[in-house]
Each structure stands twice: as structure tokens, then as C-alpha cells.
Amino acid sequence: MTRPRIVVVGAGFVGIECLHRLERKLSARDAELILVSPQDYQLYLPLLPHVAAGVLTPQSVAVSLRRRLRRTKIVPGVAIGIDAAAKVCIVRRTTGEVTVKPYDHLVIAAGSTTRTFDIPGLTDHALGVKTLAQAAYIRDHVIAQLDLAAAATDEEERRARLQFVVVGGGYAGVETAACLQRLTTNALKRYPRLDPALLRWHLVDVAPRLLPELGDRLGVKAMAMLRERGIEFSLGTSVASVDESTVKLTDGRTLPSRTLIWTAGVAASPLVTTLGAETVRGRIITSNQLTVPGCAGLYAAGDVAAVPDVAKGGDAICPPTAQHAQRQGKVLADNIVASMSATPLKPYIHKDLGLVVDLGGADAVSKPLGVELHGLPAQVVARGYHVMALPTFTARTRVLVNWGLNAVAGDDFVRTDFQDNRPKTLQDFERTKAYLSPDEVKKHSETLNVRA
């Protein structure tokens, strides 16, 4: 008798939690477990701003898959299409070879990419903070601007290199701006030729207020903390265009800058468009049991899925947060096991435990279980939450040691140049050009549909 094949696409919170639980619930005889992922690590995305600022090393937030998964076969590659009717997943391996993976159960947990708009120059010049490579590149880029500003003889060039623009007033944008502003402020003490008054960090967002998920009071408090540190805000506006040396805003202003960091939301992985399933705001509509209606053996969760938020009720869907993704992965595993034994599936129900925003140093705002905190108490909660959420003892130890070392010894200001010769666009870093059209999916499925 052939073992059922369970294929999981994506090594994020959903995929790894699901497989980790399946390995405990199913024996090797019960099912074949396969993970499709271009990386051999699970990325703890919430701490990427700390990597970009050099507070944490990249290894601290990149947890080896082989530390967590013992029996799962890892296929190095990207799922570029799904044929739900034929029950096959089309994979482009890291070698470039295109193959198919037939499945009995498929979990779509491919996560999200940076959401962009049709803004002239945006995709060519903006930097994102969605992958480990992007975080490492941003650090190098920001420090390079300080070096180039110190060497510049033209005053206008120096001003442009020392003005940094971050777009996005959510968690990613606020934390990235806060952490990098702290880094550059400390770094300027080592650049005697640069006037600290020239350093400008500018946070832009189309929304009328910062961090709306935290409520008015904490959003205002976060703004006050960051404004005191010198960060400027332009709310209710966005970017009209961007080129190598300027960022033009929709309110008519032009900011001379060589750095635009774009964190204005996320979009579901382009893998969703290859499936042809019903979507809402670009995310696959699922049942509250995380199944995809009308597609046998197909499940979706995390950033790619519009999962009903049963705790809130109505038409609410779960926000794309790590907290929900981790718990959805566990429910997914339970429901796959239940479907294999023909027992009822259970709905995903989880009440949000609260939100934390780390602004660097002793600055933070947090709302655990509805309790509003700011300053050092909020920072203790924020970092405590991240330590507990990290999936392995090794990762927790590395993060704690890095935080401690940074607090005692301060920042380092060196460029690694690891990313110097690779393409710098959002599409290149996030592989958004790799996916097939629905017609191409059908063609590959018919041509390559051989049991792998």
C-alpha cells in the first residue's frame, strides 16, 4: 500500500509548525513528508530589523530546518504552480530543473512578498525588509551611505546620502526606521567630518496615524519617542516617484535621498495566482478548518490565506502575523491527521494575545492582553515574547547573547559586502518573477505528471 504523500510549500511559521507536529503524530509508515523551500532555514521574520541594524547576526534568526525536522524530505526549490485537479505541485529546484510533486495532501504556506504599487521607479530603487538577504544588504547599504557621505566633497550629495526614507507606518516600517536610526546616530560619532545635524530619517505613510493596530494612545506614544530621537513623520501622504537621488511625495515635496526602504504592507505569494482558487484581497479563501473549498486535499494558512477569524466573528479574517501562523500550523497538522483517519476536523480559533513593537534600546510600545505599556516595561515584554517565540534553544541563546553584547559593547559599523554583486531589486530578492501562469501550470502538469 502506498503511503499518503503530504507536501508542504514554505518553511515559515505555518509550514515548520505543521511538519514538526506531523512528525510527532505520524510514523514513517503512516505518511511521506515533503517540504519545498528554497532555503534550508526557518526565518524568524519579526527580528529582521535587528539584523538590518547589526544588533543580531543573521544566524540568530535563521533556524536550521534540520534542527527541527528529523524525517521530512527537504526539496530545495520554489513551488511555481499548483494543479489542484491533478493534485500536483510544480517545483523549480535551485538547480533550475522543473519537476512535479504529486500529493495526497498539500499545505500552501508560501508566505508573502512585499506589496508594491505602480509608482515610477519603485521596483528599481526601493529596498525591502522581507528576507535575510535584504536585511543584510540594507545594513551594508546604510553604512555605505555614511562612508560615501564622509568622502563626498559636494554638500548636496552629502545631504542626500544622509537622508533616509522609510515608507510604511506598520510594525515593519516603524521598527526598521527605529533600529536603523539608532545605528546611524551611534555610528556618526565615529565620523568626525560629518555634521550630525545632517542625518535625517523620514517615515512616510498614507494612513493618518502610526501603528493603528495598537490604538491611538500607543501610536501617539511611539511617535513621541521616535520624534524625540530625531525621526520625522509625513502621514497622510505617499511616494509619487523615486529615482537614484530623490524621493518625490504625493504632497508635492521632493526629498533628496539615496535610500528608500519600502515596507508598505505585504501581498500573498504569487503562487496563489497559479491555483485559480477564490481569493479575497489576494489571499486564498479557506474554511475555518484551513481547507480550500472545492479542492480535495488542499490546505492553506498564514499570509497566503484568508482564514476566518472565528474569535472576532463576522467577516473578519486573521491578520498575517507570526502569532496566528504558528498556531494555524499546529491546527493544520491535526486536521490532516484527522482527515486521514476520517474523523472530524476542528476549526482554527485563537484570540490574539497582543502586539509588541521594539523601537531599539529601552524604547518600545506593547499591548499584551489589552494592557498598554511603553518604555522599558514594554521592551521587557517585547523581547521576552520574541525569545519565547523563537523555535529552538540555540536560537534563543544566540539572540540573548547578541542583545547582551550590543547593550554592553555597542554597535559595529562595518560593511560585509556579501550582497555587493547580486541584483538589488525587490523582485530579485523575493523571486516574484519565478511563477507560472494558470495555462503554464496546466501544460507542465500534463507533461511532467509522473509520480516522483
Q: What is the pLDDT of residue 233?
A: 96
In this prediction, residue 160 carries a pLDDT of 97
pLDDT for residue 201: 97
Average pLDDT over residues 216-239: 94
Q: What is residue 354's predicted lDDT score, i.e. its pLDDT?
A: 83
- Burial of residue 260 (CB within 10 Å: 0-12, 13-18, 19+) is buried
Alpha carbon 379 to chain centroid, angstroms:
21
Q: What pLDDT, on a 0 to 100 scale, did the predictor assign at position 433? A: 77
Which pLDDT tens digit goes with each residue over 161-183? 999 999 999 999 999 999 999 99
Q: What are phi and psi of 215, to 5 degrees?
A: 95, 165
Nearest to 3 by CA among 146, 103, 92, 133: 103
- CB–CB of 156/192 below 8 Å? no
Average pLDDT over residues 136-144: 94
What is the helix (H) or strand (E) element at residue 200, kind and residue range?
Answer: strand 200-205
**pLDDT, position 353:** 80
- Written as one letter, the residue type at 39 is Q
How distant is the alpha carbon of residue 391 from its chain centre?
A: 16
Edge-to-edge strands, sheet with 246-249? 239-242, 246-249, 254-256
User: What is the structure's pLDDT at 452?
Assistant: 43
Segment 403-420 shows an average pLDDT of 85
Average confidence score pLDDT of the chain = 92
- CB contact at 8 A, 105 and 299: yes
H-only helix segments in 122-165: 122-125, 132-151, 155-161
5-114+267-352+429-446 classified as CATH 3.50.50.60:
yes
Place of cell 529552538: 392
Name the 3-class secondary structure at 249: strand
Q: What is the pLDDT of residues 286-344, one digit of tens each?
A: 999 999 999 999 999 999 999 999 888 888 999 888 889 999 999 999 999 999 999 99
- What pLDDT, on the 0 to 100 scale, is given for residue 451? 43
B/e letters for 80-101, b = 16+ CB within 10 Å, e = fewer, are: bbbbbeebbbbbbeeeeebbbb
d(CA 54, CA 398): 13
Residue range 63-83: average pLDDT? 94
- Interval 344-358: pLDDT, tens: 999 999 887 888 999
Task: Give the mean pLDDT of 423-429.
Answer: 78
pLDDT digits (tens, 9 = 90+) for 116-139: 999 999 999 999 999 999 999 999
Domains 5-114+267-352+429-446 and 122-264+354-415 share a fold: yes
Grid cell locating 347 = 476549526
- Top-confidence residue, 452 or 378: 378
Stretch 73-102: mean pLDDT: 94
In the chain, where the domains are located: 5-114+267-352+429-446, 122-264+354-415
Of residues 439 and 395, the one with the higher pLDDT is 395
Look at residues 267, 171, 268 and name the one whose alpha carbon lies nearest to residue 212: 171
Residue 396: band (very low, low, confident or very high) from pLDDT cuts 50, 70, 90: very high
Pairing of strands 98-102, 254-256: unpaired
Instruction: Quote the pLDDT of residue 422.
Output: 66
Please, where are the H alpha helices in 192-255?
Answer: 216-228
Q: What is the mean pLDDT of residues 247-265?
A: 96
* Average pLDDT, integer, range 403-412: 90
pLDDT value of position 241: 97
Domain 122-264+354-415 has CATH 3.40.190.10: no
Residue 1 banded pLDDT, cuts 50, 70, 90: low
